């Protein structure tokens, strides 16, 4: 898979709109004090800009300062958490609710997500069943700091530390702790929590349609050197419809590339220990 092209940021645009707005406001005050605006002069300047080929810039979401700041807030839908970006606080606990089971969605384990993510998942499952892609099953959702810590220890015991590091996150570095990540499957189609899930009818449908509901497949194929994790077609992350749409339309494959953050293949202490 070719390297994804990140959405470029134009920092000047972060500050340009407020400056323009202030200038216009001052102009209106001056006009109010000294008489009506000179519309002929304004029209002349507009014509000059048009002849010069000046076009009002179209800003990308990542051009704005607030969304980038929000990626560091544990409670934000836009938070980016990886091996280099721990949650703050490390033991962050979101408000969550139980995902509703239905004909289209089996949550017999009583798992939980943040309300906005749960609502979106319920809508996606309904549409997936309607389109004949199967009934969704929730394998994992919100995990507390303590649960994630125990899970990582279990993975180390099962696979060894090196393998565990690409299969599971350390506590405080897991998307599941945000309440915005969920692992799903369709038992009737097999490959539950396996890479072959991406080749099933449900896996393909999710990869093509999850963005319509504000979700992305967080760990795509051949992105381990950026995300730090192996291909997980079952692991979905809620980022909101606006980001998910932009993500899909621009052919982005990782949140690190979307926001222009550095690759997070290893934890800092591991990266430092491997430097010659």
The residue count for the chain? 276
Candidate from 18-22, 45-49, 175-179 with smallest mean pLDDT: 18-22
Q: Give the CATH number of the domain where residue 263 resides.
A: 3.30.1380.10
Percent of the chain beyond pLDDT 90?
64
pLDDT, position 28: 41
Give a yes or no: residue 256 inside a domain: yes
The arithmetic mean of pLDDT across residues 111-124, rounded, is 98
- Is there a catalytic annotation at residue 77? no
Q: How confident is the model at residue 163 (pLDDT cuts 50, 70, 90)?
A: confident
Evaluate whether residue 5 is within a structural domain: no
Is the peptide bond preceding residue 181 cis, with omega within 30 degrees of 0?
no
Q: How many domains does the chain have?
A: 1
Q: Is residue 164 part of a domain?
A: yes
Instruction: Answer yes or no: is 24 within a domain.
Output: no
225-258 tens-digit pLDDT? 999 999 999 999 999 999 999 999 999 999 999 9
> Which whole number is the average pLDDT over 196-210?
98
Query: If you average pLDDT over residues 72-89, what whole number do you get?
Result: 95
**Residue 10: inside a domain, yes or no?**
no
Burial profile 104-129: b = 16 or more Cβ within 10 angstroms, e = fewer: bbbbeeebbbbeebbbbbbebbbebb
Catalytic residue among 77, 122, 175, 232: 232
pTM: 0.75
Would residue 243 count as lying in a domain? yes
How large is the average pLDDT for residues 18-29? 43
| Structural domain range at position 165 | 74-273
Cβ-in-10-Å burial (0-12, 13-18, 19+) of 52 comes to exposed
Rounded CA-CA distance 255/2 in Å is 16
Cα 138 to Cα 187: distance, rounded to the nearest angstrom: 10
CB contact set of 226 (below 8 Å; sequence gap of 6+): 254, 256, 257, 263, 264, 265
Q: If you average pLDDT over residues 69-95, what whole number do you get?
A: 95
Q: How confident is the model at residue 168 (pLDDT cuts 50, 70, 90)?
A: confident
- The predicted model gives 60-88 an average pLDDT of 86
Residue 14 · residue 64 · CB < 8 Å: yes
The CA–CA distances, whole Å, from 99 to 106, 110, 165 equal: 9, 7, 29
Weakest mean pLDDT among 75-84, 150-159, 193-202, 239-248: 150-159
């Amino acid at each position: 898979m070719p390297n994804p092209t990140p959405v470029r940021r134009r920092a000047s645009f972060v500050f340009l709109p407020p400056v323009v707005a202030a200038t216009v406001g001052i102009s209106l005050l001056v006009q109010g004090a000294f008489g009506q605006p000179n519309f002929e002069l304004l029209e002349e300047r507009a014509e000059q800009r048009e002849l010069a080929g000046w076009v009002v810039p179209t800003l990308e979401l990542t051009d704005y300062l607030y969304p980038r700041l929000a990626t560091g807030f544990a409670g934000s839908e836009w938070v980016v958490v990886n091996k280099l970006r721990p949650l703050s606080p490390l033991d962050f606990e979101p408000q969550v609710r139980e995902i509703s089971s239905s004909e289209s969605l089996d949550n017999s384990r009583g798992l939980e997500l943040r309300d906005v993510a749960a609502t979106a998942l319920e809508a996606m499952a309904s549409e997936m069943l309607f389109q004949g892609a199967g009934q969704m099953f929730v394998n994992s959702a919100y995990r507390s700091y303590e649960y994630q810590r125990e899970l990582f220890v279990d993975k180390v015991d099962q696979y060894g530390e090196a393998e565990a590091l690409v299969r599971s996150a350390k506590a405080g570095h897991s998307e599941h702790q945000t309440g915005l990540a969920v692992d799903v499957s369709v038992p009737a189609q097999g490959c539950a929590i396996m890479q072959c899930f991406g080749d099933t009818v449900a896996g393909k449908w999710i990869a093509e349609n999850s963005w319509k509901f504000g979700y992305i497949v967080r760990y795509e194929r051949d992105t381990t050197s950026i995300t730090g994790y192996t291909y997980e077609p079952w692991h979905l992350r809620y980022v909101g419809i606006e980001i998910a749409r932009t993500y899909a339309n621009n052919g982005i494959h990782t949140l690190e590339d979307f926001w222009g953050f550095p690759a997070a293949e290893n934890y800092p202490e591991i990266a430092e220990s491997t430097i010659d």
